[in-house]
């Protein structure tokens, strides 16, 4: 895989460089509530601009249905890039139309432009190779060189991620190079003990990575909504907690295999429960009750790990040499159910381990709860991509850059 450093060494002044970023940031109207993904791609954008490239930044945002939708415009992201660069950033209000062509044509050396949401064109996500390829052909007309730096999208076989690199000289940006380097530390020559913390809502989202980690990890700690399927698999009452009943046989199989392989599976000892889901907008007091994990009342829902579980999980992370964490321990968006996620984050900070926060809600939680991002070994920008990498899958966007 060629890197941006090789591109810069060859010289980029005057060249149009297409940077496939991941600007899929959360929005409240037109206000960006977490700019972590924007800041992550800035080193690549800044290096290219400083070297005199004419930088064309492109990304998706949300899930528009192949047509323009103002709710998913990249205009707020373009403004934020300009603020962070302290420079004018031009914005094209289409992807490959007149505005994009004119905006790119007007760039001078060192200037940056952002084109509109790639998913406003149905060709970006098309299953049909020819339709996707046709869109990639149009995108290729906007650039001389391709730099892939949207790690959060590399697990997608999309036009700008998979097809476009085949049409232009292509290089990996700083973010992708860093992400791949970190993930190799979790899969090749891992320092042990290797502890993994998995949370989030659904077991089904993590089945592949659990399967793979049974061959790699020394201990796996389970929290979040997915914990209740594990507890149910052990025969415990879980009340009205989030449950994927169809996954119980798979979970029972994993628990059996873990026992056979000597992998320690750690499940909650106690949980915070309530009869109703908390109001995340007003954050009104929820007044939860703490109960043993095997004694959840039939009319109650588990919404966070309890204090004894927090202590247990901290102790299981204290001596680890490598830790990977993906998924919050509870409904961290509400202060009454944030303590479990806080405890895991703090345990990572207190550990001397190489710590990786695996993107998605975990990364959002770290920022929302006020932790210093730089205190962790690495915070990934791609939750789904990092999980698929750990599953051993071939990621289309990385394969395209390696070709």
Active-site residue numbers?
37, 202, 360, 384
Query: Are the C-beta atoms of residues 240 and 255 closer than 8 Å to each other?
Result: no
Return d(Cα 343, Cα 328) in angstroms, integer.
Answer: 10
CB 90 within 8 A of CB 111: yes
Q: What are the distances in angstroms from CA 308 to CA 162, 215, 311?
A: 46, 28, 5
Q: What count of Cα atoms within 13 Å lies in the side-chain half-sphere of residue 53?
A: 29
Rg (Cα) of the chain, in Å, rounded? 22
Angle at 231 (CA atoms; ends 200, 335), nearest 5 degrees: 40
Beta strands (DSSP E) in 230-364 are: 264-266, 270-274, 289-292, 301-305, 322-326, 354-357
DSSP lists the bridge partners of residue 145 as: 17
Q: Within 10 Å of residue 58's Cβ, how many Cβ atoms?
A: 26
Q: Helices in 108-171 by DSSP H: which ranges?
A: 129-140
Q: What is the DSSP letter of 159?
A: I
How far apart CA 145 and CA 165 sit, in angstroms, is 9
d(Cα 273, Cα 295) in Å, to the nearest integer? 11
CA nearest neighbour of 385 among 357, 359, 364, 367:
359
> Could you give the count of Cα atoms lying within 13 Å of 193 in the half-sphere of its Cβ?
16
Cα–Cα nearest to 319, from 216, 199, 194, 217? 194
Burial string for 225-261 (b: 16+ CB within 10 Å, else e) reads bbbbbbbbbeebebbbbbbbeebbebbeebbeebeee
Provide the 10 A C-beta neighbour count for residue 307.
14
């Amino acid at each position: 895989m060629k890197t941006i450093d090789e591109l810069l060494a060859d010289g980029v002044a005057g060249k149009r460089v297409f940077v496939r970023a991941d600007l899929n940031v959360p929005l409240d109207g037109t206000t960006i509530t977490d700019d972590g993904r924007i800041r992550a791609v800035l080193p690549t954008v800044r290096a290219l601009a400083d070297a005199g490239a004419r930088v064309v930044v492109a990304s998706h945002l949300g899930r528009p249905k192949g047509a323009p939708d103002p709710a998913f415009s990249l205009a707020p992201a373009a403004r934020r890039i300009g603020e962070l660069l302290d420079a004018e950033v031009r914005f094209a209000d289409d992807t490959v139309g007149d505005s994009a062509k004119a905006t790119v044509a007007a760039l001078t050396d060192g200037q940056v432009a952002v084109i509109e949401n790639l998913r406003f064109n149905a060709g970006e996500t098309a299953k049909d190779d020819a339709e996707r390829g046709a869109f990639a052909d149009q995108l290729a007309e906007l650039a001389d060189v391709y730099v892939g730096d949207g790690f959060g999208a590399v697990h997608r076989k999309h036009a700008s991620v998979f097809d476009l690199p085949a049409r232009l000289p292509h290089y990996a940006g700083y973010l992708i190079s860093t992400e791949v380097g970190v993930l190799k530390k979790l899969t090749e020559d891992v320092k042990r003990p290797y502890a993994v913390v998995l949370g989030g809502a659904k077991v089904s989202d993590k089945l592949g990575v659990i399967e793979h980690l049974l061959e790699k990890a020394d201990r796996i700690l389970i929290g979040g909504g997915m914990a209740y399927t594990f507890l149910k698999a052990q025969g415990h009452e879980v009340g009205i907690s989030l449950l994927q009943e169809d996954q119980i046989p798979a979970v029972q199989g994993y628990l059996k295999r873990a026992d056979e392989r000597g992998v320690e599976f750690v499940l909650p000892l106690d949980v915070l429960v309530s009869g109703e889901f908390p109001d995340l907008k007003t954050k009104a007091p929820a007044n939860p009750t703490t109960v043993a994990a095997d004694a959840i009342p039939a009319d109650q829902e588990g919404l966070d790990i309890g204090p004894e579980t927090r202590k247990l999980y901290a102790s299981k992370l204290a001596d680890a040499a490598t830790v990977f964490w993906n998924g919050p321990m509870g409904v961290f968006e509400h202060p009454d159910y944030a303590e479990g996620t806080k405890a895991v984050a703090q345990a990572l900070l207190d550990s001397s381990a190489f710590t990786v926060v695996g993107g998605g809600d975990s990364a959002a939680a770290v920022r929302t709860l006020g932790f210093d991002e730089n205190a962790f070994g690495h915070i990934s920008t791609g939750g789904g991509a990092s999980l698929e990498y750990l599953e051993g899958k071939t990621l289309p966007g990385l394969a395209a850059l390696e070709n």
